[in-house]
Amino acid sequence: MIEFLNRLFGRQTSGATAKERLRLVLMSDHLSLAPELVEAMKRDLVDVISRYVEVDRDKIDVHFENQENVVAMLANIPITGVNRNAGREQTPAVPVMEQAAQTPQAAQAPAAPPRPRPRRRRKKNAAATAS
């Protein structure tokens, strides 16, 4: 009932605020406490992007920022060129991580490759319940 009224008037209870703050703070705690996980994610992320564009792997900057209602992943990935086979390249069956050492190259795509699914990579956050 109270919660309903609060929602009606667009207000969040302090308990809900606490829950939201806790969720965010733990998320960034866990990210900062698991650097190897972040590194692996960064690598995978760059691998995916490399299928479409050529990137400068040495100048990549990926970090996390606590914003108002989300923990945002901010990636600055300098692009040095366009991959000519972009979009026609098929996702390899082997884990993308194994490609890390290779230069982004165009593997000849077989007939009728499935369209790569669009992936939201930029922001990793659950539903923000801002008022």
Partner 1 sequence: MHVLEQPFDDADHEQSAPRSEPAPVKLGRAIVITSGKGGVGKTTTTANLGTALARRGHTVALVDADVGLRNLDIVMGLESRVKYHVLDVLEEKATIDEALVRDKHSPTLVLLAAAQAREKDEVDTRKMVELVHSLRERFDYVLIDCPAGIEKGFQNAVAGAQEAIVVCTPEVSAVRDVDRVVGLLGNAFSPQLIINRMRAQLVKKGKMLSVEDVNGILRLPLLGVIAEEPDVIVSTNRGEPLALRTDSQTAAAYHAIAARVDGEDVPAPAVEYKESFITKLGSLFGGRRNS
Q: Which residues bind partner 1 (CB under 8 A)?
A: 1-3, 5-6, 9, 11, 13-16, 18-19, 21-23, 25-26, 29, 33
Nearer to partner 1, 20 or 44 (CB): 20
Q: Which residue has the tokens 């109270």?
A: 2
Is 3 or 56 the residue whose CB approaches partner 1 more closely?
3
Alpha-carbon span 62 to 55, nearest angstrom: 14
How many degrees, rounded to 5, is the angle at CA 10 between CA 6 and CA 16?
A: 60
- As measured in angstroms, the least distance from the Cβ of 4 to partner 1 is 11
Q: Which is nearer to partner 1, 91 or 129 (CB)?
A: 129
Q: Residue 61: which H helix or E strand, with range?
A: strand 61-66
99: DSSP letter = G
**How far apart are CB 21 and partner 1 at their closest, in Å?**
5
Instruction: Give the nearest distance from C-beta 85 to partner 1 in angstroms.
Output: 44
Q: Are 96 and 44 in contact (CB under 8 A)?
A: yes
Most distant CA pair in the chain, distance: 61
Tell me the closest approach of the beta carbon of residue 124 to partner 1, in angstroms: 17
CB atoms inside a 10 Å sphere around CB 127: 7
Question: Would you say 1 or 127 has its CB closer to partner 1?
Answer: 1
